[in-house]
Amino acid sequence: KQRLRTLLAVRPLLSDEQIARLHTLRERRFASLREACGDDVRRFCAAEPGRGRGLVHCLRRHQDELSAACRAALGGGSAPGEP
């Protein structure tokens, strides 16, 4: 809720160009997650409603079970010696 309040408070201060850049950055972030975590999402989070942060939270709940590529995309890296 705090993040939403902050975004709503800051929104009027941003130009359309800045907002477009933020959307592009967000889309790139989620595109890399979709690519790296597609199989993991289908395996662990298929029943998760919505997309975006809900899926990220689901993936984080299964952090120890995720593929190395998905963990790396989430920022968790992989254990040494893992593919």
pLDDT at 11: 83
CA gyration radius, the chain: 15
pLDDT at 1: 63
What residues have CB less than 8 Å from 52, skipping those under 6 apart? 30
pLDDT at 76: 60
Per-block average pLDDT, block size 10, for the chain (83 residues)? 75 87 82 89 86 82 95 68 40
pLDDT at 7: 76
Backbone angles phi, psi at 77, to 5 degrees: 65, -170
Counting every residue, how long is the chain? 83
